[in-house]
């Protein structure tokens, strides 16, 4: 399997001299196409910082990031913006939908930004909403939807440009357990059936158990990894395994 995303010797340092702080230390990572990767760690471990590097929202102090063979670290601001629009999909914890737009318009937003908002785009958006089971809400605004429905709209938005990679930052952080399960099933489905690549940041073991592979971060370093790709373990077994790893790290 080819690596769609590669990070080499990533370092992110804040401050100067004696006040330097390493948010990331020498992180090396490869994500293959169609892989569902979860990044776990406690607060301040560097997982969100890593996500920002991988998405091009921030630049590392040193090291390189390659997305689909293109170096993000040497791209200009304009190139990064373009790359984000074309090759990366985002799913946020607080959904970040535009309140004044309908569900269909929110989903089509990336195409609108790229200047490709036409009838075809609208149809594609509605198809995605149908696929996610909320086609009937195409003309509704976010204020008229539940959290789960809004997150589904956000997922559809992340998928509309057929990105190389989807980055999800605590995608179920604002949802109840039942809705979270629905959302994670959807994400897992897109990976397994449609070969999308997802990198998800979470602190929740149950959420992380849906991933193919989990990497653990602490103090800016990658310290451990669990691979469930070809595993037959049940969800609860995975959760136990993950929890054991976390506890081991804590000790």
Kindly list the residues in this chain that would bind other proteins in the complex (CB under 8 A): 48, 52, 55, 57-58, 78, 81-82, 84-86, 90, 92, 96, 98-101, 105, 109-110, 112-114, 117, 143, 157
Instruction: Give min distance, CB of 158 to other proteins, in A.
Output: 9
Cβ proximity to other proteins: between 22 and 117 the closer is: 117
Instruction: Give min distance, CB of 169 to other proteins, in A.
Output: 8
Cβ proximity to other proteins: between 49 and 209 the closer is: 49
Q: What is the 3-state secondary structure (H, E, C) of the chain?
A: CCEEEEEEEEEEEECCHHHCEEEEEEEEEEEECCCEEEEEECCCCCHHHHHHHHHCCCCCCEEEEEECCEECCCCCHHHHHHHHHHHEEEECCCCCCCCCCCHHHHHHHHHHHCCCCCHHHHHHHHHHHHHCCCHHHCCCCHHHCCHHHHHHHHHHHHHCCCCCEEEEECCCCCCCHHHHHHHHHHHHHHHHHHCCCEEEEECCHHHHCCCCEEEEEECCEEEEEEECCCCCCCHHHHHHHHHHHHHHHHC
Cβ proximity to other proteins: between 154 and 226 the closer is: 154
Instruction: Give min distance, CB of 59 to other proteins, in A.
Output: 11
∠ CA(74), CA(168), CA(211), 5° rounding? 110
Cβ proximity to other proteins: between 58 and 204 the closer is: 58
∠ CA(184), CA(238), CA(6), 5° rounding? 65
Cβ proximity to other proteins: between 78 and 251 the closer is: 78
Cβ proximity to other proteins: between 75 and 101 the closer is: 101
Instruction: Give min distance, CB of 42 to other proteins, in A.
Output: 17
Instruction: Give min distance, CB of 94 to other proteins, in A.
Output: 8
Cβ proximity to other proteins: between 59 and 221 the closer is: 59
Tokens of 71: 């170096």
Instruction: Give min distance, CB of 232 to other proteins, in A.
Output: 37
∠ CA(46), CA(160), CA(88), 5° rounding? 30
Instruction: Give min distance, CB of 217 to other proteins, in A.
Output: 17
């Amino acid at each position: 399997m080819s690596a769609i995303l590669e990070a080499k010797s990533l370092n992110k340092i804040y401050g100067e001299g004696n006040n330097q702080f390493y948010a990331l230390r020498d992180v090396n990572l490869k994500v293959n196409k169609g892989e569902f990767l979860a990044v776990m760690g406690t607060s301040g471990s560097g997982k969100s910082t890593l996500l920002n590097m991988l998405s091009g929202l921030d630049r590392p102090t040193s090291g390189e990031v390659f997305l689909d063979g293109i170096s993000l670290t040497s791209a200009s601001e304009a190139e990064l913006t373009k790359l984000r629009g074309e090759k990366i999909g985002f799913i946020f914890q607080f959904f970040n939908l535009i309140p004044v737009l309908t569900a269909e318009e929110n989903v089509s937003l990336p195409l609108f930004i790229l200047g490709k908002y036409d009838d075809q785009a609208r149809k594609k958006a509605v198809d995605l909403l149908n696929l996610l089971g909320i086609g009937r809400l195409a003309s509704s605004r976010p204020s008229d939807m539940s959290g789960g429905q809004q997150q589904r709209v956000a997922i559809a938005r992340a998928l509309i440009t057929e990105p190389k990679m989807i980055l999800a930052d605590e995608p179920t952080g604002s949802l109840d357990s039942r809705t979270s399960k629905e959302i994670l099933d959807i994400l897992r489905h897109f990976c397994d059936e449609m070969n999308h690549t997802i990198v998800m940041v979470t602190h929740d073991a149950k959420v992380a158990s849906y991933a193919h592979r989990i990497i653990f971060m602490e103090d800016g370093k990658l310290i451990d990894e669990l691979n469930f790709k070809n595993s037959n373990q049940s969800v609860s077994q995975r959760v136990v395994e993950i929890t054991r790893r976390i506890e081991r790290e804590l000790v």
